[in-house]
Structure 1
Amino acid sequence: MKLKIAAFLAAWLSITSTFVNAQSISGKVTDSSQKPLDGASVYLMQDSALVKTALADAVGAFSFVQLKPGKYYLNISMMGFASYKSGLLKPDTTLLALMQPTGKQLKEVVITSQKQFVEQKIDRTVVNVDALISNAGSTAMDVLEKSPGVLVDQSGAISLKGKNGVKIFIDDKPTYLSGADLDNYLRSLSSATIDQIELMSNPPAKYDAAGNGGVINIRLKRNKAKGFNGGINLSYSQGYYGRTNNGLNFTYRDNKLNLFGNFSYNTANGFSDLDINRHFFTDAGAPDYDFLQNSFIRRTSKSYNSKIGFDYYVSEKSTIGFIVNGLISPSDVNTINKSRFLNTNGNLDSTIVALNAQHRNFKNGTANVNYRHQYDKKGRELTLDFDYLRYQTNMAQSFDNTGYLPNGNISTQDLLTGNLPSNINIWSAKTDYTHPLNSGFKLETGLKSSYTKTDNIADYFVTQGGVTAPDYDKTNHFIYKEQISAGYLNVNKDWKRISLQLGLRFENTASDGHQLGNIQKPDSTFKRNYNGLFPTAYIQYKLDSTGSHSINFNYGRRIDRPYYEDLNPFLSPLDKFTYYTGNPFLKPSYTDDWELSHTWKNITTTLNYSQTKDDVNETIEIVNGIYYSRPGNLGKSINKGISIDASFDPAKWLNFHFSGRVVNIHTISQFYTGTLDTKGTYYFIRPVFQFKLPKDWTTQIDGGYQSKVTNAQFIASARGKINAAVTKKFSPSLSMSIVGNDLFYTFNNGGQINNLANVKANYLNRGDSRTVVLSLNYRFGKTIADLRKHNADGAESEKNRVKN
């Protein structure tokens, strides 16, 4: 099957390369002194009708491709400049537009333009991180929490439009992380290094089909101006504890070389005050006993994150690049756990105090070699990417448990220690080919193959009465291997009113799991091999000639393969009565997703419906009083919702952005207590007010509120928060921000757990969410003018440069 797919795609590449290329109009926008006008709006017109729009990039360049033969003209506008209108232009024309400032200038005027916080595209929602000033001094996880449609729960799990199973990409590359590893990584990434966040509930066929909840792609900053440019961000955050978040990014670009890098250093210092209460009943339903547990968890960590790379322009058409990325993040978690057992009458029966310590050292290193060849200026190009990723974790744990009688005397005492090294190695190779046709269609096709090997060891020892022995019930060694081979074909075309994009992706997955035994447990293995076809479709119909009023429809099929961590069968204790464990028998889940949206100016309303088979979700089981949390396959999950995203400018000094949604979740599955059939509707709102004040002061008030959420076994309580921020721009290069998060300390996680055998359980988790952040941002550098321009496709070409 793999050979057939490869042969088909190779033949397709050969056939499509023979087509005649589409034509283009490109150019550059400058002022009268030939300084580039970054952000100028360029409108391509034909017979008084708008054909396409573009924004000039950092060097003033723009480009329109896939044009039919005919005569066109350009209208160009920029704040502070008189409108520019060209004469009639034929395709394959290059234009230099000189724009004149309006009015008399008695002194220098600095012209700035503010990007919208959210932009809607045919296949994704784009969040411009710097447009929200409360993002200053924060982390990637903080920015995600403020993005429309995104929710982050108390365990760090990310959902998009009410759907779990979201995959996180960095610059179009999957992170391959989940759970605590992903949470730690995103909290180590400074918001100062992030340019945009792309939210794709139905990603195009070019992206991996993994992720029932869609894909979130984080694009890091890369200055597009030639010369040496960059920025420094320093921030200090004070909650109950203090922490820092600092970042540096730079770009040096000349005729042949583009060197870029991101560096960040931050310290995390916080706590969780977690209550879990379990009320046990007899088979007849009478109260039996209560188990009341409080865990005060102190977390501290440091993160050193660096990325450096270069693009070398071999010729006008060919570029080769190399990128390395490294992360070192040592952390410590110290927990004081107090568990009280109450008898039927509510009197204290016994108490267990656990002093738990965990030291964890997480390292990540990646290397990428890429090649890009542009066959012409029309958009026909070939890219190649080779990646190697390594994740290494060394963790040492200790659980010192002491039991007390009601009178305070010690009844039991034991010590559990563990050593848990883990290694993940990933190799990946892919190629993508783009070919515009003279009919206006654009074809994209590609191949990808990845191989992953994970090696996890858990060695546990119990010390009782001064004697230490291996704990073979928890000691384990798990090796998992997975190979995914994929190919895709994507085609799109823009007409005057209709835009169409269709895609089909094929993926083959072969996996092999081996759980090594010990003297008390036998070996066990499993192998799986399965194929999947994943279609995608996007249709946009413009109801007016400007494109500001449109209807969009999209459909996609996705797969959610179990996370490596979820397949690991290890028992990870919180205390003697609470364990987290993986599930090597997890199956992949599949989701079909439909969306219908309407956009009018800056208001987008969306209806969505999705159905998931074998949805992977957290399940809770209590056996003999022991609490086990593990991932499991739930039979069927149906998600229905409506959302709105809107932006208004009621006055020159005021911008109002609003996002909200109403979602219904229905889950049906066979569970250990019988049939699990839950449904519930929740709503979420997030308003943002920005006030532009005199002398370059800007203030912001934002917040969010989520009502009660019912999802499978869990009912999460309502929660909300209010934030405030103020920023002062001292110059085009220097600004300072002060941000207050969760001002009234209302963003706490709580809820209840249902479908437990003869048990009722609830939880409440309070963290260090009320903080004040002081952030300083400085941009430096000097643009070099009149250098060779290697990217004839203007801003769009820069955006889709060699992958990094």
Structure 2
Amino acid sequence: MKRVSVLILLTVATLSVHVYGQTNTTVYGGHIQNHQGEAVDYATVVLLRNGDQIAGGVTDSIGNFALKADTGAYTLIIQCIGFETIHKSIRLSADTREAFILETSTYALKEVVVQAPNIERKADRFVVNVSPASGKDGTELLSQAPGVWLTDENISINGASGTKVFVDNREIKLSGEELLSYLRSLKSEDIRRIEVIPIAGAEYDANMRGGVIRIALRRRLDNGVQGNISMGTVLAPSLTRYLPSAGLHARIGKWSIQAAASGIFTPNDRSKMSSEREYPEEAVHFSSLSGFDTRSGYGTGRLGAIFEIDTANSVGGEIEYIRQTAKGPSWSRTNLTKGEFMLNSNGKYGQRSQYQTVTATMNYLHKIDNRGSAIKLIVDYANKKSKGDNDYSVTQKTEMLKHDSLYRSHADATYEIVTSDLSGLKYFNKNLSLNAGLKYTHTSMDDYSRYDGLSQQQEWEENPVYGHSLKYKENIMGAYASFSAEAGKWSLIAGLRGEYTQTDDRSDRIKRDYFDFFPNLSATYAFDRMKKWMLVGQYARNIERPAFYTLNPNRLQTSDYSYQIGNPYLRPTYINRFSATLVYNYRYTLTVGGNLHHDLIREFCKQDAGNPDISYITYENHHSENHWFVAINLPMQPTAWCNLTANFVGVRQDIRMTEEAAFKAHYLAFANANATFLLPADFTAEVQYSGTSRLYSGNSEVAPRHTVNLAVRKKFADNRFLLTASANNIFDRQQSFVSRIDAYTTYSRYESALSGRTFKISLTWNFNSGKKVKKSKIERSSADERSRLNEK
């Protein structure tokens, strides 16, 4: 730890001297607008010398640009679609700033002779500058961003789980089809910039392990209303699902108002699981088959507003409500044979569950200067209540007797999260900044469950072995500081986060207090002036706290011979992450690195102590698990009408379950490819492949799986409508698992309608009254804590 701190300080000192010691480099900046006085964003600005491009960039959302170049004579070229090109000879001898007015072009720009790169690599992130004229939606833009993996189920960076998506500093807490629908509603004319951060910095919570994708929207200050309405459906032989959604953004004077609502309604979702056990004794046989018929409804509504007090101050608030209900019968049939003894079990289960979540956010923003310096205060509250009622009927038969049993269960849980976050960002100049902040998070969980069985006297009697009461509190206090500097071909971000955590499990009388440092370092070296060839090194220490469902010791019965139960004694996982990335031509990347886990939380299959024929799933800490990986990102455009992105990750997984055990090595592979074809008449076709090798977790394995998706999209009515039709997992690849314990090995196959072959169709209407509005967003500070509330 001391060596890391000394290295950071020495590097910072060296770069700081370099920043102030250079005398032959100037900054040429300016502002570009049209004749109406409106800022022109995404205009291309380049400096040429003897026909060679020396520096280049694009204007930001308010029309400003800044280029670095040595002193001397240059040709300045400014281009933007729809405007006349500016050519001007300039001589740089000191830092200079100029203003330009672009003339409207009487004809379309036919050829762009020079162009600034639309992808830049900073010390800790890729920055994709989006052209408003590209005509792409959010998913199409993300699929071409370096290292981004996009599937129907998940968005990740280099295949790593836990990636967070933020739009204008607000986390989008959607997943699966809902998240993709939201991103498709964003168009290239809405999106100004996409940032891909593989390793989150010190300003993010220490458990932000999967990286961050940040989407910045264009600022439009005109009054008006903009929104979209979408309706979709997912169909399969045993699945029916409806996906309505709507969003509205309004700008009225100093007020920015946003509202959104969406739902997932599933009147029919059938699935089944089959299991076989392999015993050392040949005379023992076990097989089971379970079926599930689930009907569920999910809805969410969100309303927020931002009031701009003046040009430097604004205040905002947002309220969100989420509700989900699910119910449906399930059944199981199990046959167990031990020599001459045969036992047949038939179970019928009635399951009903629901939860609702209410969140509220308030924030205040004070802008210090025009460079981006600001002070922010965010207060966030989330409350989740859930309950479930289940009825069970089990019949067990042998050749000699028949036994019927009835039992029921009831569960109630309440979760509360309160956070406050104060942060400040100061830009000393374009190349030097400091970001610091304080954060406090309080979490409480009150979980109760009761199991009753029907006695021979036909009376309900409580079974205390299955029931449980859990009262859990957690307090996290954090502070961080992050320093950023650029000097010549070098750029650096160095940060340190400290977190003090206090937990109190009153039910099991478990108390923990611990303090941790989480350093973060990113350094980039450019081999050429235009930064086409770059080498990036990154290091971060992270923590992954147990999700609440893994801590909950309530027994969840899945069949007569299996159940699932949490572990309140779980310890948090610590991760040391480091990587080196070679970047070519801004977007092609080769990354090698490692993720070293201590106390990694994994699922384990175990044998019940009371009945050896029953197995259960619980959660335990691996002593250590190291992932050594290589990742390749290859975005290509072989023709003007075809975009192809291919990603590959190879991993060596070294597992040591206990401190005394030896390491066991496994080799894993992940691949993802996405081909998009731009067809005539505003048609777009997309083919997507996703594949994983055999995976290993605890004493279980997941079989390899390869899926292929096909989608066709049609834009019409001046892009106001988008019609999408797709076939997912067209070869109907299902999921298989293996669990190994000393007594036997269990082979299971899960056939789910939702993860099998499905057909989807959706129609989205984008409407706009007046000029498009500025889509201001409410910042939240408890994004990662809330993710621990998610159901498994």
* TM-score interval for Structure 1 and Structure 2 normalised by the shorter chain: 0.7 to 0.9
Matched residue, 2:788: none
Alignment equivalent of 1:193, drawn from 166, 182, 185 = 182
Task: Tell me how far 1:55 sits from its aligned partner.
Answer: 5.2
Matched residue, 2:365: 372
Summarize the Cα distance change of 1:582–1:743 in structure 2 as closer, same or farther, 3 Å threshold.
Answer: closer
Which runs of structure 2 are paired with 1:600-679 in the superposition (5 Å)? 600-601=584-585, 602-623=587-608, 624-670=612-658, 675=661, 677-679=663-665
Mapped to 1, the partners of 2:118 and 2:708 lie a distance apart of: 18
Matched residue, 1:384: 377
Matched residue, 1:11: none
Mapped to 2, the partners of 1:726 and 1:74 lie a distance apart of: 43
Whether contact under 8 Å (1:426, 1:451) holds in the other structure is yes
Q: Which amino acid aligns with 1:233?
A: S
Mapped to 2, the partners of 1:718 and 1:529 lie a distance apart of: 41
Summarize the Cα distance change of 1:79–1:172 in structure 2 as closer, same or farther, 3 Å threshold.
Answer: closer
Which runs of structure 2 are paired with 1:438-477 in the superposition (5 Å)? 438=429, 440-465=431-456, 466-477=458-469
Task: Tell me how far 1:29 sits from its aligned partner.
Answer: 4.7
Question: Number of matched residues?
Answer: 727
Equivalent residue of 1:757, what SS?
coil
Summarize the Cα distance change of 1:403–1:121 in structure 2 as closer, same or farther, 3 Å threshold.
Answer: farther
Alignment of 1:300 onto 2:295: yes
Summarize the Cα distance change of 1:413–1:600 in structure 2 as closer, same or farther, 3 Å threshold.
Answer: same
Alignment equivalent of 2:235, drawn from 226, 229, 238 = 238
Summarize the Cα distance change of 1:163–1:689 in structure 2 as closer, same or farther, 3 Å threshold.
Answer: closer
Whether contact under 8 Å (1:736, 1:774) holds in the other structure is no
Structure 2 residues without counterparts, runs of 5 or longer: 1-19, 21-25, 782-792
Alignment of 1:414 onto 2:405: yes
Equivalent residue of 1:585, what SS?
coil
Residue deviations 1:255-310 (CA, integer Å, cap 9, x gap) = 411112222122134233212322333xxxx3352321222222222121122211
Mapped to 2, the partners of 1:208 and 1:732 lie a distance apart of: 42
Mapped to 1, the partners of 2:430 and 2:679 lie a distance apart of: 50
Alignment of 1:271 onto 2:270: yes
Equivalent residue of 2:181, what SS?
helix
Matched residue, 2:477: 485
Summarize the Cα distance change of 1:248–1:163 in structure 2 as closer, same or farther, 3 Å threshold.
Answer: closer
Whether contact under 8 Å (2:363, 2:376) holds in the other structure is yes
Matched residue, 2:202: 205
Alignment of 1:778 onto 2:765: yes
Task: Tell me how far 1:221 sits from its aligned partner.
Answer: 7.6
Residue deviations 1:422-481 (CA, integer Å, cap 9, x gap) = 111111001110111148311000000010111101011112433311011111110100
Mapped to 2, the partners of 1:484 and 1:66 lie a distance apart of: 43
Whether contact under 8 Å (2:676, 2:684) holds in the other structure is yes
Equivalent residue of 1:287, what SS?
coil
Alignment of 1:502 onto 2:491: no
Equivalent residue of 1:635, what SS?
strand
Task: Tell me how far 1:101 sits from its aligned partner.
Answer: 3.5
Task: Tell me how far 1:612 sits from its aligned partner.
Answer: 0.9
- Superposition RMSD on alpha carbons, in Å? 4.0
Give identity over the alignment, percent: 19
Matched residue, 1:9: none
Summarize the Cα distance change of 1:698–1:625 in structure 2 as closer, same or farther, 3 Å threshold.
Answer: same
Whether contact under 8 Å (1:326, 1:364) holds in the other structure is yes
Alignment of 1:579 onto 2:568: no
Summarize the Cα distance change of 1:316–1:736 in structure 2 as closer, same or farther, 3 Å threshold.
Answer: closer
Task: Tell me how far 1:61 sits from its aligned partner.
Answer: 3.4
Task: Tell me how far 1:133 sits from its aligned partner.
Answer: 7.6
Summarize the Cα distance change of 1:496–1:779 in structure 2 as closer, same or farther, 3 Å threshold.
Answer: farther
Alignment equivalent of 1:742, drawn from 712, 728, 735 = 728
Residue deviations 1:387-424 (CA, integer Å, cap 9, x gap) = 11111111112222122336xx9722112211111111
Which runs of structure 2 are paired with 1:754-769 in the superposition (5 Å)? 754=740, 756-768=741-753, 769=756
Q: Which amino acid aligns with 1:257?
A: W
Whether contact under 8 Å (1:24, 1:378) holds in the other structure is no
Equivalent residue of 2:689, what SS?
strand
Residue deviations 1:139-198 (CA, integer Å, cap 9, x gap) = x9xx99x9845899xxx99986566676787875679xxxxxx9xx63584433235997
Whether contact under 8 Å (1:230, 1:251) holds in the other structure is yes
Alignment of 1:250 onto 2:248: yes
Alignment of 1:228 onto 2:214: no
Summarize the Cα distance change of 1:492–1:714 in structure 2 as closer, same or farther, 3 Å threshold.
Answer: same
TM-score by length of 1: 0.81
Task: Tell me how far 1:360 sits from its aligned partner.
Answer: 1.4
Mapped to 2, the partners of 1:676 and 1:354 lie a distance apart of: 42
Which runs of structure 2 are paired with 1:64-79 in the superposition (5 Å)? 64=66, 75-79=77-81
Matched residue, 1:722: 708
Task: Tell me how far 1:527 sits from its aligned partner.
Answer: 0.7
Mapped to 2, the partners of 1:303 and 1:224 lie a distance apart of: 33
Equivalent residue of 2:550, what SS?
helix
Summarize the Cα distance change of 1:242–1:558 in structure 2 as closer, same or farther, 3 Å threshold.
Answer: same
Q: Which amino acid aligns with 2:381?
A: Y
Matched residue, 1:14: none
Mapped to 1, the partners of 2:119 and 2:708 lie a distance apart of: 20
Q: Which amino acid aligns with 2:376?
A: T
Mapped to 2, the partners of 1:221 and 1:396 lie a distance apart of: 44
Structure 1 residues without counterparts, runs of 5 or longer: 1-19, 176-181, 516-523, 790-797
Residue deviations 1:666-693 (CA, integer Å, cap 9, x gap) = 110239xx94743211212211111111
Summarize the Cα distance change of 1:314–1:452 in structure 2 as closer, same or farther, 3 Å threshold.
Answer: same
Whether contact under 8 Å (2:317, 2:363) holds in the other structure is yes
Residue deviations 1:110-142 (CA, integer Å, cap 9, x gap) = x9xxxx999876434689999988969xxx9xx
Equivalent residue of 2:175, what SS?
helix
Summarize the Cα distance change of 1:164–1:36 in structure 2 as closer, same or farther, 3 Å threshold.
Answer: closer
Summarize the Cα distance change of 1:741–1:118 in structure 2 as closer, same or farther, 3 Å threshold.
Answer: farther
Mapped to 2, the partners of 1:342 and 1:731 lie a distance apart of: 66
Mapped to 2, the partners of 1:584 and 1:636 lie a distance apart of: 20
Task: Tell me how far 1:369 sits from its aligned partner.
Answer: 0.7
Which runs of structure 2 are paired with 1:77-476 in the superposition (5 Å)? 77-79=79-81, 82-85=84-87, 93=97, 95-101=99-105, 103=107, 122-124=123-125, 148=148, 161=158, 186-187=175-176, 189-194=178-183, 200-211=197-208, 213-216=209-212, 224=220, 226=222, 227-240=224-237, 241-268=239-266, 269-281=268-280, 286-344=281-339, 349-405=342-398, 411-438=402-429, 440-465=431-456, 466-476=458-468
Mapped to 1, the partners of 2:505 and 2:260 lie a distance apart of: 37
Summarize the Cα distance change of 1:81–1:529 in structure 2 as closer, same or farther, 3 Å threshold.
Answer: same
Matched residue, 2:785: none
Task: Tell me how far 1:54 sits from its aligned partner.
Answer: 3.5
Task: Tell me how far 1:546 sits from its aligned partner.
Answer: 2.2
TM-score by length of 2: 0.82
Summarize the Cα distance change of 1:415–1:87 in structure 2 as closer, same or farther, 3 Å threshold.
Answer: farther
Task: Tell me how far 1:651 sits from its aligned partner.
Answer: 0.9
Matched residue, 1:589: 573
Matched residue, 2:518: 534
Alignment equivalent of 1:54, drawn from 39, 53, 58 = 58
Summarize the Cα distance change of 1:73–1:334 in structure 2 as closer, same or farther, 3 Å threshold.
Answer: farther
Q: Which amino acid aligns with 1:289?
A: V
